[in-house]
Amino acid sequence: MPKTIVCRCEDVTEEDLKRAFESGFRDLESLRRFTGFGTGFCQGKSCLCHAARFLASVKGGDDMVSDPPRTRPPLRPTPFSAFAGAAPEAESAREEKP
């Protein structure tokens, strides 16, 4: 079916953004929460910019676009084993093992 994909991870289309905006989701955060863009595997690397540009164009200016959603680590999918090893407690736990 003809679709213009904004977010490839979560299959959010340009139409979805328009409809969500018309339904009253008019800032980046609520638009994101409603449509789900930026919440998939890549965490917005290829869609956040498109969505922000969309908002700027419908609201009539770059200054109408808020700060980006709060950034939370990890920046890319990271196995728990990495964080398990990085925690300071992990060091002592390893040493205590018989």
Partner 1 sequence: MAAARRLEPHPDTPFRYGPRVDFTFEGKPLWGFAGEPLALALLAGGVKVFGRSAKYHRPRSPMCLHAHCSSCLMRVNGRPNVRTCDTPCSAGQSVERQTGWPGAGFDLLRSIDVVYPEELRHHELFTSSAALSRLASPFVRKMSGAGELPSGPPPMALPAEHTRARVVVIGAGAAGLSAARRLARAGEKAIVFEAEALPGGRLLDGATWIEDDGGGAGWQKWKSLADPAGLSGIELCCRMPVVALYPGRPPTVVAAGEERVRVVQPQRIILCNGAYDLLPLFVGNDVPGVMTVRALDRMALGHGVVPAEPVVLCGDSDEVLRLGALLAERGVELAGVVTRRREGPQLEALQEKKIPIVFDREPARARGGRWLHELELASHRKAEPDRLLDCGLCAAESPPAPAYELGHHAGCRVFFSSSGGYRIAADSSGRTSRDDIFAAGHCAGAADTAAAMAAGEQAAGACLESLAQAG
Where on the chain is the footprint of partner 1 (CB under 8 A)? Answer: 1-6, 8-11, 13-16, 19, 34, 36, 40-42, 45-46, 48-50, 52-53, 56-57, 62, 65, 67-68, 71-86, 88, 90-91, 94
Alpha helical stretches, state H, the chain: 14-22, 28-35, 48-59, 80-86, 88-96
Q: How far is the CB of 14 from partner 1 (least distance, A)?
A: 6
Instruction: Give burial (CB, 10 Å; 0-12/13-18/19+) of 29.
Output: middle
Q: How far is the CB of 95 from partner 1 (least distance, A)?
A: 13
Q: How far is the CB of 18 from partner 1 (least distance, A)?
A: 10
Contact assessment for residue 50 and residue 70, using Cβ atoms and an 8 Å cutoff: no
